[in-house]
């Protein structure tokens, strides 16, 4: 595996003093964040505190009103829409609460999809997809459609799809939110194992302490402001 342009000791993704309002609602009120390659950071906090907004800003999906976000030394605000979407496609992976698999496609086609969209041939994309499905222990489901698999299996397929492009950052927003605790733990075990094996950074939004326990570090978001867990007394 080759190293990225980021020095090993440096942050891969950094946000400073982010502010974002939706009309009269303040979603972020001076939130900051940073993550190193290979690090798993849990973003915790009450409902409505700004966790998803922070994740969407970090991923270049939402543009903050002010503040700066730097990815691998590049300021996001200087990128245009197509540069930002190219970054999302090639460097970032996403897993959401409900896997958001394409119902008409089989599981292996779903996992192969990001590679197909990047121009990889079907054969090669499905071969890579199957490797990831084996790691997430869902290769037996390759020919099934999302409606024919369980919630936990579907989330593992979604994790395989998020990792198939070998992203540098995996964004996961409540990836186990719809699962029972046993399935949730299995998804987290496999997700963190897979991310660590490729040195991907993981931004993990969760309400649950037992999910956050899989992280290296916890950040709490409250009223749009972020803090490292240790600083909260
Ligand atoms: N697109 C939007 N339009 C209007 N208000 C929004 C939008 N997105 C978020 N908000 C508001 O911003 C605040 C922060 O929302 P956010 O989704 O970031 O919270 P959260 O911490 O992820 O909550 P949850 O744990 O319930 O997912 C909330 O008050 C929410 O209602
Ligand atoms: Mg949310």
What average pLDDT does the segment 25-44 reach?
96
The reported pLDDT for the residue numbered 103 is 96
Calculate how far, in angstroms, residue 227's C-alpha sits from the geometric centre of ligand 1: 18
Per-residue pLDDT at 6 exceeds 70: no
Measured distance CA(210)–CA(181) in Å, rounded: 9
CATH entry 3.40.50.300 includes domain 1-90+207-228 = yes
Please compute Rg for the chain using Cα positions.
17
How confident is the prediction for the chain on average, in pLDDT? Answer: 91
How many angstroms separate the first and last alpha carbons of the chain?
41
The pTM for the full model equals 0.91
pLDDT bracket for residue 78 (50, 70, 90): very high
Give percent of the chain with pLDDT exceeding 70. 94
**Ligand at shortest distance from the CA of 96:** 2
**Ligand at shortest distance from the CA of 26:** 1
Nearest 5°: the CA angle 182, 188, 193 is 130
pLDDT bracket for residue 215 (50, 70, 90): very high
Residue of 26, 53, 55 to test ligand 1 pocket, by largest number of atoms within 8 Å of CB: 53
Q: Where are the beta strands (DSSP E) in the chain?
A: 13-22, 25-35, 40-44, 66-71, 74-75, 92-95, 169-173, 201-205, 217-222, 225-228
Strands 13-22 and 66-71: antiparallel
Range from 35-39, 89-93, 98-102, 132-136 carrying the lowest mean pLDDT: 98-102
Per-residue pLDDT at 1 exceeds 70: no
The reported pLDDT for the residue numbered 79 is 94
Calculate how far, in angstroms, residue 161's C-alpha sits from the geometric centre of ligand 2: 21
Residue 2's nearest CA partner among 163, 157, 149, 168 is: 168
Give percent of the chain with pLDDT exceeding 90. 83
- Quick: pLDDT tens for 135-172: 999 999 999 999 999 999 999 999 999 999 999 999 99
pLDDT bracket for residue 233 (50, 70, 90): very low
pLDDT bracket for residue 178 (50, 70, 90): confident
Q: If you ran DSSP here, which 8-state letter would residue 167 be given?
A: -
Question: How far does Cα 20 stand from its chain's mean position?
Answer: 20
Residue of 31, 42, 52, 177 to test ligand 1 pocket, by largest number of atoms within 8 Å of CB: 52
Q: Using DSSP, state whether 42 is helix, strand or coil.
A: strand
Count of Cβ atoms closer than 10 Å to residue 125 Cβ? 22
Contact between residue 221 and residue 43 where contact means Cβ atoms under 8 Å apart: yes
Residue 161's nearest CA partner among 150, 147, 175, 180 is: 175
Contact between residue 107 and residue 133 where contact means Cβ atoms under 8 Å apart: yes
Per-residue pLDDT at 123 exceeds 60: yes
DSSP states of 82-96 as a string?
HHHHHHHHHHEEEE-
Strands 66-71 and 201-205: unpaired
Every domain of the chain and the residues it spans: 1-90+207-228
Measured distance CA(188)–CA(49) in Å, rounded: 23
The reported pLDDT for the residue numbered 4 is 35
Calculate how far, in angstroms, residue 132's C-alpha sits from the geometric centre of ligand 1: 32
The reported pLDDT for the residue numbered 8 is 32
């Amino acid at each position: 595996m080759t190293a990225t342009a980021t020095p090993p000791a440096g942050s891969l993704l950094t946000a400073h003093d982010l502010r974002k309002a939706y009309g009269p609602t303040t979603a972020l009120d001076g939130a900051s964040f940073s993550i190193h390659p290979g690090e798993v950071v849990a973003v915790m906090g009450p409902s409505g505190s700004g966790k998803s907004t922070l994740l969407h800003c970090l991923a270049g999906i939402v543009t903050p009103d002010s503040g700066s976000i730097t990815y691998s030394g590049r300021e996001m605000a200087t990128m245009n829409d197509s540069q930002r979407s190219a970054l999302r496609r090639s460097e970032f992976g996403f897993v959401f609460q409900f896997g958001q698999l394409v119902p008409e496609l089989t599981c292996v086609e779903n996992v192969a999809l990001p590679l197909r969209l990047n121009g990889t041939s079907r054969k090669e994309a499905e071969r890579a997809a199957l490797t990831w499905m084996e790691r997430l222990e869902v290769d037996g489901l390759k020919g099934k459609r999302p409606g024919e698999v369980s919630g936990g299996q579907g989330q593992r397929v979604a994790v395989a799809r998020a990792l198939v492009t070998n992203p540098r950052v995996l964004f996961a927003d409540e990836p186990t939110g719809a699962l029972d605790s046993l399935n949730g733990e299995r998804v987290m075990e496999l997700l963190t194992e897979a991310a660590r094996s490729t040195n991907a950074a993981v931004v993990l939004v969760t309400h649950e302490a037992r999910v956050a326990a899989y992280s290296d570090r916890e950040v709490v978001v409250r009223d749009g402001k972020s803090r490292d867990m240790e600083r909260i007394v």
